[in-house]
Amino acid sequence: EVAPLVPRALLMSELPPDWERRAHAVEAVAIHANHRHLTPGLAQAVRAAGFGLFCYTVDEPARARELLGWGVEAFCTDRIDLIGPDFS
């Protein structure tokens, strides 16, 4: 391993049925997923399994609020003017 102490995340556009096995295989601490393919049930499963949850690329404030309500901890955006540091 190049950097065994650096926490890893597993990046997947869509979470396949074996996403948890894959995450454990690479010793991931978080899942990074395309928000378009995330459902409340998947978000709950990821969080219940003990993984952090990050989404990309969220550009609509309403969608950002929805995802945060599902347990998504962070996301990236191209619309920092709409979803900035003071976003809630």
At 1 the pLDDT is 65
Domain range list for the chain: 8-75
Selected from 3.30.420.40, 3.40.50.280, 3.30.70.600, 3.10.180.10, the CATH number assigned to the domain covering 8-75 reads 3.40.50.280
Q: Judging by beta carbons within 10 Å of its beta carbon (0-12, 13-18, 19+), is residue 26 exposed, middle or buried?
A: exposed
At 73 the pLDDT is 96
Mean pLDDT (10-residue bins), the chain, 88 residues: 86 97 96 98 98 97 96 95 84
User: Under DSSP, is residue 53 helix (H, G, I), strand (E, B) or coil?
Assistant: strand
